[in-house]
Amino acid sequence: MELLPPELILTLSDHFDVQCLARFAQTCKPLHQTLQWTLTERAKRHALASEEEYKKRLLFPDQGCRPIHLEHLYRLGAPLPRQPLVDAICAGRLDAVTGFLDAGIDPDFCDVRGIRWLMHAVRSQQYDVVDVLLRRGADPSLPTLCYEGETPLYMVASVPDRIMVRKLVHAGAATDFKTICDILLPHCDVETLRLAIARGGDLRESVHRARSMLESVMRNSDPEVLVFLVDAVPEICTVAHGISGRTALWRAVFFNREDIARTMIRARIDVNHRSYFNETALHEACQSPGSFRMVEFLLDSGVDVGVPGKDMQTELHYACEANDEGIVKLLLSRGPVDFTRQVTLAKGKSPLHVAAVGCSLSVVRMLLEEGHADVWLTDHEGQTAIDRARESHRDDVTDYLSTRSR
């Protein structure tokens, strides 16, 4: 085959489809060199839309300006042309994608809307195709052709995907502060975050945006990311979430991580900070399953007790709502409870009213025998705890409360 004249080889190539031509060109190096230009042109014609389609949808203004997506600008509504490479990427057909790349398609090129191949693979969550494109030199930091901020990492943010985030960061995706705050903090693990910072992302340069970091990390389900951030940026302990008014301490309570809470208190976080519902972190702990140790820790750390939170309910109301006997007992042990004041605050509903409807008999018994609750207190509708228990068909609670009311 190497002895054949180039003209004859090019004539033979006219009778091959693109896939066969790509395999034919891989036979030997001289053959590949001869067919390279032909293969690239044939692959482009087959894999991509026509040049006319690109010109119809993408306007390239003066040099140095970004292209304009005309279809978006004028809402042309015309059906998209056939683009076999895009179809192969989105369907995860590795052989077809590899064949087109072997034929010379630029791994950083785009479709008629300016969306690059890597963006299509990320959006379709085609992990193997992403790997192929990255190995072939696709730049994970390049945005779409028309929109500068629309990078593959930002696409991941719309469909939270830790695996994809890790792939892109390991491949060298740009990680400035905005990327770290908007994408990595809500959606990555600690190792990915460490790698991003090692490659140039500096959290310390933007401590004035501690609130943004807090709001981002509060969406991450991995508590170790919060641990890392508190250690790296202690200033995060001095701000509150812009919408809920909660501090990072709430997140430590949510994860039931006493070690993180201790770290925050050492960083001088305000244990008595109130959210926009007037709750402290103790309210969160009292309604969270298995949080006895956390409640004990917060009490020992000096958190205020008897604070009227959402709907003016105190921590004891929250613990009764959760039917947590251990936390109820712990709260009662820390000092006398003014049940009359709690009825006045909580829209006429005392912790005993809450317990009579949804708690075990042992919690009801504890409120009366250890907390000295008044069985005759009425709620905003004039109903006692006995009345509420009877309405809820709590026969055991009704009998016990009736006995105590004599």
Give the closest residue to 168 by CA, choosing from 145, 147, 146, 199.
199
Q: How far is CA 15 from the centre of its chain?
A: 52
Residue 325 falls within a domain, yes or no?
yes
Which residue segment(s) compose the domain that 372 sits in? 310-406
- Cα(224)–Cα(191) distance, rounded to whole angstroms? 10
Residue 206 falls within a domain, yes or no?
no
Other CB atoms within 10 Å distance of the CB of residue 238: 17
Residue 383 falls within a domain, yes or no?
yes
Give the closest residue to 380 by CA, choosing from 356, 405, 340, 347.
347
> For residue 134, what pLDDT is reported?
97
Residue 244 falls within a domain, yes or no?
no
Residue 402 falls within a domain, yes or no?
yes
> For residue 13, what pLDDT is reported?
57
CATH number at residue 370: 1.25.40.20
Q: Which residues of the chain have a pLDDT value below 70?
A: 1-44, 61-66, 70-78, 202, 204-208, 342-347, 406
Q: Do 348 and 311 contact (CB within 8 A), yes or no?
A: no
Tokens 């009227």 identify what position? 308
What are the C-alpha distances in Å from 176 to residues 66, 132, 185, 221? 21, 25, 12, 22
Q: Do 217 and 252 contact (CB within 8 A), yes or no?
A: no
Q: How many domains does the chain have?
A: 1
Could you write out the DSSP letters of every residue in 323-376? T-HHHHHHHHHTS---HHHHHHHTTT--HHHHHHHHS-HHHHHHHHHTT---TT
- Cα(277)–Cα(309) distance, rounded to whole angstroms? 6
Tens digits of residue pLDDT in 81-109: 889 999 999 999 998 899 888 878 899 99
Q: What torsion, rounded to 10 degrees, do the Cα atoms 28, 34, 36, 40 define? A: -130
> For residue 11, what pLDDT is reported?
60
Residue 155 falls within a domain, yes or no?
no
- Cα(254)–Cα(272) distance, rounded to whole angstroms? 16
What are the C-alpha distances in Å from 89 to residues 41, 131, 259, 366? 20, 12, 45, 64
Q: Do 347 and 317 contact (CB within 8 A), yes or no?
A: no
Tens digits of residue pLDDT in 361-404: 999 999 999 988 889 988 888 899 999 999 999 999 999 999 88
Residue 249 falls within a domain, yes or no?
no
The number of CA neighbours under 13 Å toward the Cβ of 379 is: 19
> For residue 19, what pLDDT is reported?
60
Q: What torsion, rounded to 10 degrees, do the Cα atoms 294, 300, 303, 309 define? A: 40
pTM: 0.68
The number of CA neighbours under 13 Å toward the Cβ of 240 is: 17
What are the C-alpha distances in Å from 294 to residues 190, 258, 275, 277? 24, 6, 18, 21
Residue 260 falls within a domain, yes or no?
no
